[in-house]
Amino acid sequence: MSGVYEFVSLLLFCHLMPLLLAAACPPLLSCGDLGNISFPFTTTERPDCGFLPIRNCEDPLKFKMIQLQNNGEWFRVVLVAQLRNSSIITFQIRDKHLYDLLQNESCEAFRYNYTIPPFFHFAALRIQYHTSLFRCKRSLHVSPPTGMLNYTKCPDYDLYYKHIITADDVSRSSLAACTEVQLPIKDVPDAINPFTFVTADITIRVDLTDECADCNYRHGGQCKLDSTEKFSCASVVKKGLSLKAKLGIASVVVGAAGVAVLLMVLACCFRKNLFRRENPTHRIIEGFLKEHGPLPTARYSYSEVKKLTNSFRKQLGQGGFGSVYKGQLHDGRAVAVKILNKSGGNGEEFINEVASISRTSHVNIVRLLGFCLDSSKRALIYEFMPNGSLDRFIYEEKNPLQVAHQLDCKQLYDIAIGIARGLEYLHRGCNTRILHFDIKPHNILLDEDFCPKISDFGLAKLCPRKESAVSIFGVRGTAGYIAPEIFSRNFGAVSHKSDVYSYGMMVLEMVGMKTNIKAEVSRSSEIYFPQWIYNCIESDQELGLQNIRNESDDKMVRKMIIVGLWCIQTNPSTRPAISKVVEMLDSEVELLQIPPKPCLSSYSTSPVHLSCETL
């Protein structure tokens, strides 16, 4: 008899589960490496649960794809960023054709005029980061408007653009005969080469209509259109009552055994939800999202991390933080996977690091492609940098007589400018200002062209513009690069100038090809190279450095030294802002003033105050 009841119970389960699923949309739907998604996103299997269905959510080997209009082109979804019960919704898609053109630096990319369907029934869509470029035929003999940059390497036309151009900008009048194109960007459009800021990874913001947002978030309903094509908030409660009736009829048919099985299923679901709510990792993530907004990067499980590193087969390096392994994403991209050591922390600092770097998009900031926070397992997935870190190339003890790998003065100078521009972006270009607190050669990665990228945001601080100060305690950074005010508030407030100090010490190490602190002393104040090089600059002596081969090299090195000495001034107010550093490096060395001689002493450790002043 028990076998009959088991069979009937199984039938009940199989027939009622589809009814349960169809009755109401779940709050979250799983979509592979995009993580959990919710309204207005849904899967193609549940088109009734949203109006932006994503394809291939169930297939881990395929890209996740989306259409922005009926029968339109399918785009790969790079990431989805949304905060539960909030109208803050963005997602990023990749235009494959535009991507290929930009990778090949083809001017055909500038023939695009990138727009998206502006309005759905329940929301407005817009490209969040974009700019106008003006394509002008050379036969027009356009005179460049004041403040505009131009790019002249396209065969038939020149491009004109600038940092900000509004609808009523006076520059438009002189470009009236040109073709204006709108293109998505990943960085401020102020570079000489537009291929450095135009992107095929398009960030799209979704703004729900007030009535749909109210229906979904306040009432838990579903945004629908009725038979007259007017908005309707479909109530989940009504469907629930209908389902109860169906359950009542089914329970009479199958008897007590069926009801018991159903209760067991519901109890199991309840226990899973309870566990999810009580999971400390889940609480940390939810708490951070509520405070800082959604994390715009993919989250991986530990099993997925293990798979993409081929069970951690190829180790790239190891340090106090953990180990780095080479891996490969399913789209073929090489990645560096940093597996962090187990710590007693609750994951808050780790999420802070993920949030800091995932909010950035700049050619001189390493790109975070994903992260893993799976119970005690923590990992960061970065784009792979084939040349490793800068310290491999500037310290003699790490690179003895390896001429093939030595960097010449021009390369070092370009690296110094690149790092400064990356820092300028962190301090001024982000929506949320980021103070790094650990700028050093080990945290500067180099790509195949030796383009520098700032990495390792473990000590970084998010500094919202609306807040004037944040308190920190203890010492942040690495000995030899820590600014005096971090040791003692007597020197001034900790601010963006603390990163400038670390940058200056690093630049002097790049010039001297050695560390600035003596190996036998523990105090970061006991430096010798900066003091020696200051005397050389002040008295206009020959520098006698091994990598100076001609007058041009000498000028570049002297410029780096003067800038570095300005950056390591003891008083933070005397140091230049990083934007001024970029300006100094771009100017002639003869125009740079010799700074006061740095005067350093031992510092005591005490709580300090972090100032987020306007730059």
List the catalytic residues.
438
b/e map 272-290, b = 16+ CB within 10 Å: eeeeeeeeebeebbeebbe
Q: Are 420 and 444 in contact (CB under 8 A)?
A: no
The burial of 546, by beta-carbon neighbours within 10 Å (0-12 exposed, 13-18 middle, 19 or more buried), is given as exposed
218 φ, ψ (degrees, to nearest 5): -90, -40
Contact present, 178 and 134 (Cβ < 8 Å) = yes
Cα–Cα distance, 153 to 607 (Å, whole number): 53
User: How many Å apart are CA 374 and CA 301, to the nearest integer?
Assistant: 6
Integer Cα distance of 337 and 310 in angstroms: 11
Q: How far apart are CA 326 and CA 591, in angstroms?
A: 46
Cis amide linkage into residue 40, ω under 30° from 0: yes
Whether 98 contacts 109, CB under 8 Å: yes
Q: Are 440 and 434 in contact (CB under 8 A)?
A: no
Residue type at position 136: C
User: In 425-458, which ranges are continuous DSSP H helix?
Assistant: none
Q: Is residue 338 part of an annotated ligand binding site?
A: yes
CA distance 240 to 372: 37
3-state secondary structure of 100: helix
What is the distance between the alpha carbons of residues 307 and 313, in angstroms, rounded to a whole number?
Answer: 10
58 φ, ψ (degrees, to nearest 5): -90, -10
CA–CA gap between residue 407 and residue 395 (Å, rounded) = 11
Q: How many CB atoms lie within 10 A of CB 186?
A: 18
User: Which helix (H) or strand (E) segment is 373 a member of?
Assistant: strand 368-374
* Torsion angle (degrees, nearest 10) of CA 313, 319, 320, 325: -30
- List the binding residues for ATP: 338
- List the binding residues: 338
